């Protein structure tokens, strides 16, 4: 369970990285493909739009975290999208490690053990939700092609 203190910690650190988001995202995707070169073909050749999308979405997710309500803005749609991209449960730890690595690199001396633990938990919460939704059958009315 995430504590209010962990959420504050994660949000504060996110605000420190955000001004250098492009650097952090370049390091993040480089690291993913270093750790798991076999998943490179799943991604577009040009990653510039994806870097923007990822950091913006992460901002929304981190900003909406609420342990009391379990709110997690947009995670369900994201989980379903990722099912279509071919992302599977076993890919999430690699992406998580790459994210932590790029945050540590971006934050330098501001990266502490407590902060790492908090980010691990936050990533776990987001990933679990995305995986669970991706594994579930689509909700009714999800597809515009369904007969009325
Ligand atoms: C917490 C974890 C993750 C977050 C927040 C995240 C976020 C995003 C976002 C915002 C996009 C842009 C498109 C969209 O909004 O649907 C995207 C695209 C993508 N993600 Fe993720 N992602 C995560 C984990 C993963 C994992 C584990 C994989 C597995 C390989 C993955 C593979 C992809 C691919 C292949 C695309 C894009 C494809 C395309 O444009 O064709 N992502 N991701």
97-128: buried (b, 16+ CB within 10 Å) or exposed (e) per residue? bbbbbbbbebbeeebeeebeebbebbbebbbe
Atom from ligand 1 closest to the CA of residue 91: 27
Q: Is the CB–ligand 1 distance for residue 99 below 6 Å?
A: no
Q: With 90 as the cut, is the pLDDT of residue 55 above it?
A: yes
pLDDT of amino acid 66: 84
pLDDT of amino acid 144: 55
Q: Pick the residue whose CA is nearest to atom 30 on ligand 1.
A: 87
Q: Pick the residue whose CA is nearest to atom 15 on ligand 1.
A: 78
Q: Is the CB–ligand 1 distance for residue 21 below 6 Å?
A: no
Q: With 80 as the cut, is the pLDDT of residue 68 above it?
A: no
Going from the N-terminus, what domains does the chain have, and what CATH number goes with each? Answer: 4-135 (1.10.490.10)
Q: With 90 as the cut, is the pLDDT of residue 140 above it?
A: no
How many percent of the chain have pLDDT more than 90? 80
What's the distance, Cα to Cα, between the start and end of the chain in Å? 41
The residue count of the chain comes to 148
| 102-110 mean pLDDT | 97
Q: CB–CB of 29/53 below 8 Å?
A: no
Ligand 1 centroid–CA 30 distance in Å is 14
């Amino acid at each position: 369970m995430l504590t209010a203190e962990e959420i504050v910690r994660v949000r504060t650190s996110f605000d420190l990285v955000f001004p250098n988001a492009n650097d952090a995202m370049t390091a993040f995707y480089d690291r993913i493909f270093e750790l798991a070169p076999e998943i490179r073909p799943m991604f577009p050749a040009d990653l510039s739009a994806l870097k923007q999308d990822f950091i913006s979405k992460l901002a929304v997710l981190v900003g909406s975290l609420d342990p009391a309500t379990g709110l997690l803005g947009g995670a369900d749609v994201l989980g379903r999208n990722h099912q279509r991209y071919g992302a599977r449960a076993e890919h999430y730890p690699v992406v998580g490690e790459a994210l932590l690595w790029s945050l540590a690199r971006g934050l330098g001396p501001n990266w502490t053990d407590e902060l790492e633990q908090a980010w691990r938990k936050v990533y776990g919460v987001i990933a679990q939700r995305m995986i669970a939704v991706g594994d579930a059958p689509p909700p009714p009315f999800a597809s515009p092609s369904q007969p009325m």
